Structures are given as structure tokens and as C-alpha cells.
Amino acid sequence: MTFKPGQSGNPSGWPKGKKQKRPAHVRALISEKTGALVEKILTNAENGDVESLRLFCRYLMPRHRFVPEPVDLPPAQNAGEIQLQIARLASLAGEGSLDLDSMTAISRVLAMALGARLEELEEIIGEREAQAPDD
């Protein structure tokens, strides 16, 4: 369902006079202490605190935006070529030309294509075995 331009998906909105879940003095305290807490996490992470490092990596570190170059992979004709293509993707990721998320996504597609091709070949073999005279 789409809405007309300027029309809210929730026309009644936040009820007037409804209290915030967090009291104003708590929100002010959080706002006031945030900078000091972030500095403490950074300092502890630099000093080797594993939990602070985890928090930094998960919440504070900017997410790397990778814009990969197109990867030229010719159509694979067999399972061996698919394995070589996956190895090439791993090599590109290792040298930094391809990010790990892209490598994983492309490798999954190749593996699914390989699985589909194997199922197709198994069906063909099954049909031929059924047609073959018993010796």
C-alpha cells in the first residue's frame, strides 16, 4: 500500500502529551557522558582491552564502503572451471581488488550454479540408466 505524497503512514502519529520512555534528565545525562564514554572505549581498545575493541569495531568504526571493479568471469563449462573461478575470486580478495562480501556472494552464486548443474547431470544419468537395456 502506498501513500499520497505528504501523507503519513501513521496519520495519528505520536500522541500529544505522551511521555517519553526515558526521562529528560536521563537523556541529558546520556548526552553529556557520551563523549567521555567513547573516549574511554577508544583508550581501552588501544591498550588491548578485547571487549572495548569489539565495541569499537561493531559500533564506532565507520563501515568500509568498497566499490569494486567489475570481475570478468567467463561462463564456466564444468566443475573444474567453477573451482578455478572461485580460486580467482579468493586471489582478488587477497590482493585487495575485491571485498570479502562480494567474493562471498559471487562464490555462493557459482557454487549454486555448480549444484544445479550436478543435479541436472544426475537426472540425465538416471534417465539414461533407465533407458539402457539390462545386461
Burial of 18 (0-12, 13-18, 19+ CB in 10 A): exposed
Domain spans, the chain? 24-60, 79-131
pLDDT tens, residue by residue, 61-99: 876 666 566 788 888 888 888 889 989 888 888 888 888
pTM given for the model: 0.42
| CA atoms of 92 and 71, how far apart (whole Å) | 9
Cα 65 to Cα 69: distance, rounded to the nearest angstrom: 13
Which residue, chain included where needed, has cell 566499490?
Answer: 67
Classified as helix, coil or strand, 78 is: coil
At 98-126, the pLDDT tens digits run 888 888 888 888 888 888 877 888 888 88
